């Protein structure tokens, strides 16, 4: 089993923070996100192309990870970026959780069209509408974390 983690830190003066854990077993990657400091409601969660959260606005992470060069859309539909994860729903306390399982990603594999290590997780201020190009009108980036191998 392979494991990875993305520790989410605030961007753009937000209070968003938390972690996204990844495990891979038998070719299936499971994502489990726990995020605090959000405004109540929907917030887009995406994988972005660069593992760089150094800029104030998290734009150093680049655009959505899109190795197949497809249109932005909703996960599992005909057209979507492999970085189009979905929306995390924050409760009245600003806490949200999200889970996903897929065979379209891998941890530490040699396939650059699947390997998510070294990419980043971005939490956005608004919901992904799954339609607007190129990023779903999800608003500014309020949280960023690099996807890194987890070593015990």
- Domain ranges within the chain, ordered by starting residue: 2-149
124 is catalytic: yes
**Catalytic residue among 46, 52, 57, 111, which?**
46
pLDDT (0 to 100) of residue 87: 94
46 is catalytic: yes
**Catalytic residue among 79, 84, 111, 129, which?**
84
52 is catalytic: no
**CA-wise closest residue to 45 among 148, 147, 149:** 147
pLDDT in tens, the chain (152 residues): 899 999 999 999 999 999 999 999 999 999 999 999 999 999 999 999 999 999 999 999 999 898 888 777 777 767 777 888 899 999 999 999 999 999 999 998 999 999 999 999 999 999 987 776 666 568 899 999 999 998 75
Is 28 in contact with 16 (CB distance < 8 Å)? no
CB atoms within 10 A of CB 126: 17
Is 83 in contact with 100 (CB distance < 8 Å)? no
Fold of the 2-149 domain? Immunoglobulin-like (2.60.40)
pLDDT (0 to 100) of residue 137: 67
48 is catalytic: yes
Per-residue burial over 23-38, b if 16 or more Cβ lie within 10 Å, else e, is bbeeeebebebbbbbb
81 is catalytic: yes
**Catalytic residue among 21, 43, 57, 64, which?**
64
For CA atoms 145, 148, 74, 54, the dihedral sign is positive
pTM over 0.75: yes
Burial of 60 (0-12, 13-18, 19+ CB in 10 A): middle
Percent helix / strand / coil, the chain, rounded to 5: 0, 45, 55
**Catalytic residue among 81, 91, 128, 129, which?**
81
72 is catalytic: yes
């Amino acid at each position: 089993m392979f494991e990875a983690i993305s520790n989410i830190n605030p961007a753009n003066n937000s209070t968003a923070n938390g972690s996204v854990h990844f495990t891979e077993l038998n070719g299936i990657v499971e994502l489990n996100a726990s995020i605090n400091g959000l405004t109540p409601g929907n917030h887009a969660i995406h994988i972005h192309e660069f593992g760089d959260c150094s800029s104030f606005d998290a734009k150093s992470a680049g655009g959505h990870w899109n190795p197949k060069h497809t249109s932005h859309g909703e996960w599992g539909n005909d057209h979507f970026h492999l970085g189009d994860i979905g929306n995390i729903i924050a409760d009245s306390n600003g806490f949200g959780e999200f889970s996903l399982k897929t065979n379209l990603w891998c941890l530490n594999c040699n396939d650059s069209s699947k390997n998510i290590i070294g990419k980043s997780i971005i939490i956005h201020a608004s919901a992904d509408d799954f339609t607007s190009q190129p990023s779903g009108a999800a608003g500014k980036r309020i949280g960023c974390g690099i996807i890194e191998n987890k070593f015990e």
